Copies of this chain bind each other. A is one copy, B any other.
């Protein structure tokens, strides 16, 4: 995998886990060992990871877990805003800004599979305006843009 910027990914994972831990304490929701482990596995790649890939990793060195175990943990993590689901890939990715609940908008590189989360207020506003212009109230939106990232073009 080609990372956009080389970095200490272990630290990257650790930061995400600590942030989640802290948020759960504030919200008084339960960041159980299982949920923590699943979040860790989602962050183990910068690429989106499928539920069954998580399942395989989670099952290493122990009795194989069943799908509901993974899906329930993912549901919790999505609900809390620590993970986003990428609809076009049936896959999951850690959120880059878990402190503020939001719908993620994504760029997906078709070469290296890296994903960039865009949290641009302006983009969100344009989308909401488009909904209103078409007579719809706005609830949420999925935006997934496929393209080739800077790294892969060079």
Contacts and interface: CB of A to CB of B under 8 A. Distances in A.
A23 interface: no
A147 B131 contact: yes
A110 to B, nearest CB: 6
Nearest to A128: B145
A136 to B, nearest CB: 4
A85 B112 CA distance: 24
A143 B146 contact: no
Interface stretch (A10-18, A48-56, A119-127): A119-127
A22 B144 CA distance: 32
A131 to B, nearest CB: 5
A146 B139 contact: yes
A36 to B, nearest CB: 28
B147 A136 contact: yes
A136 B107 CA distance: 8
Interface in A103-145: 105, 107, 109-110, 116, 118, 120, 123, 126-127, 130-131, 134-145
